Amino acid sequence: MSRWTGRWPTDGIAFGADYNPEQWPREVWAEDVSLMQEAGVNLVSLGIFSWGQLEPEEGRFEFDWLDEILDLLHGAGIGVDLATPSAAPPVWLHLQHPEMLPVDADGLRFTHGSRESWCVSSPVIRHHATRIARVLAERYGHHPAVKMWHVSNELACHNGRCYCDVSAAAFRDWLGKQYADVDALNLAWGTAFWGQRYTSFEQILPPRRTTTIPNPGQRLDFERFSSDAFVAHLEAEAAVLREVTPHLPVTTNYMVMGDFHQIDYQATTPLVDIVSNDHYLWAENPRGWAELAFSADRVRGLSGGRPWLLMEHSTSAVNWQPRNLAKEPGQMLRNSLQHVARGSDGVLFFQWRQSRAGAEKYHSGMVPHAGRDSDVFRSVTELGAVLGRLAEVRGSVVPRSRVALLWDTAAWWASDLEAHPSVDVQYLDVARDLHGALLDAGVAVDVLPASAALDGYDVVLVPTLYLAPSDLSDRLSGVVSRGGQVLVTYFSGIVDQADRVILGGYPGAFRDLLGVRVEEFAPLPADGVVSLSDGSVGTVWSERLVATGAEVLATFADGPSAGRPGLTRRSVEGGGGAWYLSTRLDGPSVAALLDRVLSDAGVEPVVPSPGGLEVVRRSSDTGSWLFAINHTGTDLPLRASGTDLVRGASHSSGDRVPARGVVVLRED
């Protein structure tokens, strides 16, 4: 994280949206601002896609509309998170420089007419994006409405990988810096296989479409290279903003949601002053709230535990899923407060006013097509009022947990590579299983990048970390030797940093730590199920494992690894344990296993609560706040007392949280 120590952009919890006034005639603006005041909005992101409006021809600027809107917002006491507009370059730039458009792995060049249509390695976009950033910083950086910078938008969302000739040259440059010479690259990429040997860097291309399986080392390096290119783009824009306006914090909206992993966000955190994130539910997922909690915990991990900002989510439906279900009554409030519970000091949406035209006109907004007289706008004003009452929470943190769960973007990239033992091993599945089970048990967890320091953690969970940081085994040994519990699951620590298998029996990186040696993977057929001797049920995976220095806690009772260990524990003097699980457990079995691991470490829930009642604490020097979010259709008891800031009433231990409702207690 940057060392920025300035003020948060709002006094209380930030509340607002992306605001795109350029989509509306001026008459609407005054109504916008008065509705914003009615709803309690205090921050809007402006100008995200406005480059074409601001600079309709190269060097000719139209600022009057932005001048006017900034003054209007300022007059109403609404702060602005001003964007650099690089997510949507103007048409003239595309026409002048068609070479800036990205190219896919099949060699097809995209066309302008949407957004993010640029190759991140293009010097053209770098030049023009930093140029317009400077223009905006110089003109608006001291406007009193402007509270922070929003660099571009969801970097790499649509243009994450480009295979054009400019990218190819940049990739070769990048490789030249990673490898001493081309022989070192040949060794790392294993090019002796299929005679892929290179005799000079000049022969190397991005992993464009090949006849069959491409070289995995090349693929993995291309992921790293592409991510680094976006980090460099962010750095370039942020450097201009910091040079001109050192007083303003800089952010960029991450996409820590679902399966997006085009950027290693951990590498960007030193470049932002406030970590912010966009989150959209997958509307048909009945456990979408658990996915939301997982995302929010990952963001808090990236933010080093400090408050972060929910930059976008939706008031109701999105428009880009197969079936865009509207949110149920009360769901927006629950979703928003889940993010706040897990460390966000803001609740922002895409977007303020639902568009009338364009690609996203069926995406909900704070002001829907129906206008002010609508349930959506009424629930928006209700949310604004609740957030107003939660102002005192701002700046508090989710206390550090004793439990950590590790994830890593490079491991994800490597795990995604082609021709692996089973398509049913999907990188985040087991992480989600474990996080979901902790959620149901009411146990707080810090979801951390795998490079994070592990001091102070008593339980560390390492799900399917196929490619592990080279020092991780030592850090995990440290946890175990001071009496902590470490749980590693199958398909972890298999390869080195270049995706070459660590020989001598899997999991090469963790064999000694765990006291196990796997001779052969034995994945299950589609929908295959195995039973273990302790009554648990496995799916997806099994292994032919030998316990070399660990106690066998359960063996496979059937399936391709029948009679072999499925769950082991290497015990260390002082109570420490290194657990290894070689299958994907079903829900009840995960819960039972975690119960054993947590009780060995003496970890308790935040507040013992029934399933479906999500309970999270935030605290500061001045107090503590307990968020209780009821995801069920039944009123559920909360065993804690204080003042419920949502209803403004006192709450005694055992009083109920209404079905599908939320209680936020200022604790006694």
Contact positions vs ligand GLA (CB under 6 A): 153-154, 278, 280, 312, 318, 350, 360, 363
Q: Give the active site residues.
A: 154, 312
Instruction: Look up residue 462 and give its two tokens.
Output: 């390492």
Check if the beta carbon of residue 667 is closer than 8 Å to that of residue 640.
yes
Cα(79)–Cα(222) distance, rounded to whole angstroms?
Answer: 40
Quote the least distance from Cβ 319 to ligand GLA, whole Å.
7
Quote the least distance from Cβ 285 to ligand GLA, whole Å.
16
Quote the least distance from Cβ 257 to ligand GLA, whole Å.
9
Check if the beta carbon of residue 461 is closer than 8 Å to that of residue 487.
yes
Tell me the DSSP string of 37-105: HHHT--EEEE-TT-HHHH-SBTTB---HHHHHHHHHHHHTT-EEEEEP-TTS--HHHHHH-GGGS-B-T
Closest Cα to residue 227, out of 277, 197, 261, 274? 261
* Cβ distance to ligand GLA smaller for residue 310 or 405: 310
* Cβ distance to ligand GLA smaller for residue 318 or 437: 318
* Cβ distance to ligand GLA smaller for residue 154 or 264: 154
Cross-strand bridge partners of residue 516: 547
User: In residues, how long is the chain?
Assistant: 668
Token pair 């999991």 is at which residue?
A: 507
Amino acid identity for residue 543 in this structure:
E
Token pair 């406007």 is at which residue?
A: 143
Amino acid identity for residue 31 in this structure:
E
* Cβ distance to ligand GLA smaller for residue 7 or 361: 361
User: Where does 154-215 have alpha helices with state H?
Assistant: 165-178, 182-189
Cross-strand bridge partners of residue 485: 459, 577
Which residues, 6 or more positions from 426, have their beta carbon under 8 angstroms from its beta carbon?
415
* Cβ distance to ligand GLA smaller for residue 193 or 362: 362
Check if the beta carbon of residue 612 is closer than 8 Å to that of residue 597.
no
* Cβ distance to ligand GLA smaller for residue 350 or 427: 350
Sort strands 543-547 and 551-555 into parallel, antiparallel or unpaired: unpaired
Quote the least distance from Cβ 447 to ligand GLA, whole Å.
21
* Cβ distance to ligand GLA smaller for residue 312 or 446: 312
Quote the least distance from Cβ 631 to ligand GLA, whole Å.
22
Quote the least distance from Cβ 45 to ligand GLA, whole Å.
9
Cα(187)–Cα(564) distance, rounded to whole angstroms?
Answer: 35
Q: What SS3 class is residue 387?
A: helix
Which residues, 6 or more positions from 548, have their beta carbon under 8 angstroms from its beta carbon?
511, 515, 516, 517
Q: How many CB atoms lie within 10 A of CB 497?
A: 15
Closest Cα to residue 39, out of 426, 336, 393, 474? 336
* Cβ distance to ligand GLA smaller for residue 81 or 154: 154
* Cβ distance to ligand GLA smaller for residue 311 or 476: 311
Check if the beta carbon of residue 478 is closer than 8 Å to that of residue 456.
no
Q: What angle do CA 18, 20, 24 make, to 5 degrees?
A: 150
